Amino acid sequence: MSTGFYGADLAYVHDAGFGDHARGAAPFLLDTLAAAGIRGGTVVDLGCGTGIWLRALVDAGHHAVGIDISAPALALARAAAPGAHTIAGSAFTCDLPPCDAITALGEVLGYVARGRRPEPLAPLFERAAKSIRPGGFLIFDGIVEGAPALDTSGWRTGPDWAVLYANREDVAGLQVTREMWVFRETGADVWRRSRETHEVAVWRPKEVVEALDAAGFSVSTATAYGNFPLLPRRMAFIACLSP
């Protein structure tokens, strides 16, 4: 059954042309872990996608666990980071193993299943607090309310793919709808077209921080992962579990 998130063509395009977020965040994340004495620890990446961050973790000597709901993305992740352990499942329902840190990069925790309400964050934070060792981290990012409006459109191409996208923001409903039309070359002058619609929750930062505080985390926020700036209206939450 299709999950509605990252079918084969969009997973391929995301890996080929949209891996800058994971690559850009990786140095800051690795430095943050190392500064806390976490070297060679277990890191769980929720919504691991095609495995770019998993590969960086493995290369740095960590035990990497990737969880994702997209089978095509997981297949690419296994090829990219064969040393990682991958699990098919939702970030909100999958069992979380004991670990030193949990990450969720690229709006992962904001994705909303079609026709459903956004998943509440507080239960996930409470589960994470039970899995992360004291002094460990929960680090994630998402879209937050504010300006400018996220009603945007554009396109991007690669040697054998192209994607057109249009974002529409429901300000009152705290949600962004992202329409994507994907074109992928499957043979000589033969292209396949597919389409996906993603709905992503918009967060109120104060509410997210309060939920993290209630779960036992000390929280800082940022609009960049170190030297890597996030897109407009995105915020990173760096939450350390109190010893």
With vertex at residue 240, the alpha carbon angle to CA 234 and CA 241, rounded to the nearest 5 degrees, is 135
Output b/e per residue, 190-218; b: 16+ Cβ within 10 A. Answer: eeeeeebebbbbbbeeeebbebbeebbbe
> 224 and 188 in one domain?
no
pTM, to two decimals = 0.95
Q: Clarify whether residues 16 and 99 are in a common domain.
A: yes
**Pairing mode of beta strands 161-170, 132-144:** unpaired
126 & 99 share domain: yes
Give the number of C-alpha atoms closer than 13 A to the C-alpha of residue 85, restricted to the C-beta side: 9
- Structural domain range at position 67: 8-141+204-241
Distance, CA of 86 to CA of 94 (rounded, Å): 12
Q: What are phi and psi of 211, to 5 degrees?
A: -65, -40
CATH of the domain at 212: 3.40.50.150
Q: Mark whether 124 and 194 lie in a shared domain.
A: no
For Cα atoms 188, 191, 196, give the angle at the middle one, nearest 5 degrees.
Answer: 155
Q: How confident is the prediction along the chain (243 residues), in pLDDT tens digits per residue?
A: 234 789 999 999 999 999 999 999 999 999 999 999 999 999 999 999 999 999 999 999 999 999 999 999 999 999 999 999 999 999 999 999 999 999 999 999 999 987 778 889 999 999 999 999 999 999 999 999 998 999 999 999 999 999 999 999 999 999 999 999 999 998 888 999 999 999 999 999 999 999 999 999 999 999 999 999 999 999 999 999 987
Say which DSSP state 233 is in.
T
Whether residue 128 sits in one domain with residue 81: yes
